[in-house]
Structure 1
Amino acid sequence: MKTTTTKTIVFITGAFVSSDCWNEWKAYFEEKGYATISPAWPYKDAPACTLRERHPDADIASQRLANLTAYFTSIVKQLPEKPILIGHSMGGLITQLLLQKDLAIAGVAIHSLQPKGIFTFKFSFYKAGWPALGFFTNANKSYLMSFAEWQYAFTNGMPYEDQKEAYYKLLVPESKLVVRDATTDAAKIDFNRPHAPLLFLAGSTDRFIPASLNYSNYKKYNHTASVIDFKEFANRNHFVLGQPGWQELAGYILNWLNQRSIAKS
């Protein structure tokens, strides 16, 4: 295998949470010698508590997936070298979209939102995601997840106090339109196209993005010469980035980068 290395990692945040969700991950990988960035989404470059105070926020409500993809494309193109992309949830979908543009030497999609055309019949997926779609509500107003919704969709299985701390530390308002865009051509992937190495990580207790949905996403890729891997972790919910034991996933990613000859030079 041809060895391609980089010292740069771009962390791509998902919907509903602040980019501060990557703070411990950044420190972990920087300790290993990487340079990392975790850009906030447009209109979200403020503490989570400040963004909640602004809700409903028309600017956040106007966000669309195509705009986000263009935003991260611009950031990545300005870097001195092609990076590794590590994205969570909608950030995992954006990671896949940027790999289609040949903008990274590798991608890691953690509990990734599905591209267009991939479905699941899991009830939890629809229960967790339906309120955020905001059908029959004003799309010009941002959506703010309630604590009860957060407990069900993100932090199921965690102690109450940990759920509450995570909610107030990281929860932010979201665009209903950007969530809906996952079913449009803005989320379309050409699964037959060559791509950089791509790793999918899934969690057995994730209600928002079930592991089976991640596996279906992984299996859709058909370019046999491209590297693609999948790993499911037990007892991981959608808050996997901050769930106790997150270091196991970070270590797995680091080992995967080494095994695939992508680790920093």
Structure 2
Amino acid sequence: MPAKPPVLFVHGLWLHPASWQPWIDLFTERGYDCAAPGWPGVADTVAESRADADAIADHGIDDVDAHYSTIIEKLPAAPIVIGHSFGGMIAQKLLGEDKAVAAIGLDAAQIKGVLPLPLSSLRSTLPVFKNPANKHRAVSLTAEQFRYSFGNALTEEESDALYEKWAIPAPGRPLFEAATANFSPHSPAAVETGNSGRGPLLLVAGGRDHTVPEAITKATLKQYRHSDAVTDYEVFPDRGHSLTIDGGWRSIAAFCLTWLAEQGL
């Protein structure tokens, strides 16, 4: 049996990469070599990341794409990339650039060409957009803001516990870049959606997600209509943006593992 591809987990805004550890443990049990490196400037621990927000600030989508591209170059083989939120956008970019053998986008941030912008998504990102200077800053969420954006499908207690455990500052630049993507001919939020030679892609939506509502994921799926490559879609109706870190994470991970097996990966 051929060796399984390595797996690269990519976090999104406001979550530390260590939040992937349960996924890493499960995927390692299934025979995958896994890594979850942080975005540029993200420190090794949550506490260090909170203490040095300036190091996280002002990194845009192209910076993050280049960062993970460099990491991939050092791997023994092209990886499966699994990304959450903006990490899901990065996963799609890397797949479209033929740097990954497959990608999974979990509640993936909107790519260029996606038009729906539900009110809940606007409210979730308001802490960044309320001040234009935040484009060059790192912005932290309060526990209440985290509860609306990530933990709305959870109890207040679970949401607050996840906030204390995993929340870190996030750069505002990617959000500003995504918001203006459809007005920018060379937007970093653009993805090679027409690439028919790429590996398979799975897009997963949470039906109760405030930050990336299901309408955004469905609109993302439509962007791939000109590609002959495998592009699958799944919605978990009762899950919010916390679906990778909350008490139900294992059901999402198990679905991803089954899908990878179906793709021969």
- Once the two structures are TM-superposed, the CA of residue 209 in structure 1 deviates from its matched residue by 0.2
Contact 1:6 1:82 in 2 (8 A): no
1:63-85 Cα shifts (integer Å, max 9, x gaps): 11111100000101111011111
Gaps of 5+ in 1: none
- Once the two structures are TM-superposed, the CA of residue 258 in structure 1 deviates from its matched residue by 1.3
Partner of 1:35: 33
SS at match of 2:75: coil
SS at match of 1:239: coil
How many residues are matched?
A: 258
State how far apart, in whole Å, the 1-side matches of 2:60 and 2:135 are: 12
Partner of 2:76: 80
Percent identical residues: 27
1:86-105 Cα shifts (integer Å, max 9, x gaps): 00000000001001110111
Contact 1:86 1:109 in 2 (8 A): yes
State how far apart, in whole Å, the 2-side matches of 1:65 and 1:89 are: 12
- Once the two structures are TM-superposed, the CA of residue 134 in structure 1 deviates from its matched residue by 4.6
Partner of 1:188: 190
| Stretch deviating more after TM superposition (4-13 or 198-207) | 4-13
Partner of 1:231: 234
Residues 100 and 31 from structure 1, CA distance in 2 versus in 1: closer, same or farther, beyond 3 angstroms? same
Partner of 2:249: 246
Q: Matches of residues 56-71 of structure 1 in structure 2 within 5 Å? A: 57-71=53-67
**Residue among 10, 13, 24 paired with 2:11:** 13
State how far apart, in whole Å, the 2-side matches of 1:39 and 1:138 are: 24
Residues 139 and 85 from structure 1, CA distance in 2 versus in 1: closer, same or farther, beyond 3 angstroms? closer
Residues 64 and 136 from structure 1, CA distance in 2 versus in 1: closer, same or farther, beyond 3 angstroms? closer
| Stretch deviating more after TM superposition (171-180 or 102-111) | 171-180
- Once the two structures are TM-superposed, the CA of residue 122 in structure 1 deviates from its matched residue by 1.7
| Stretch deviating more after TM superposition (27-36 or 162-171) | 162-171
One-letter amino acid of the structure 1 residue matched with residue 146 of structure 2: W
- Once the two structures are TM-superposed, the CA of residue 217 in structure 1 deviates from its matched residue by 0.2
One-letter amino acid of the structure 2 residue matched with residue 66 of structure 1: D
TM-score (ref. length: structure 1): 0.92
- Once the two structures are TM-superposed, the CA of residue 4 in structure 1 deviates from its matched residue by 8.5
TM-score (ref. length: structure 2): 0.92
**Residue among 125, 128, 131 paired with 1:129:** 125
Q: Matches of residues 116-195 of structure 1 in structure 2 within 5 Å? A: 116-182=112-178, 183-184=180-181, 185-194=187-196, 195=198
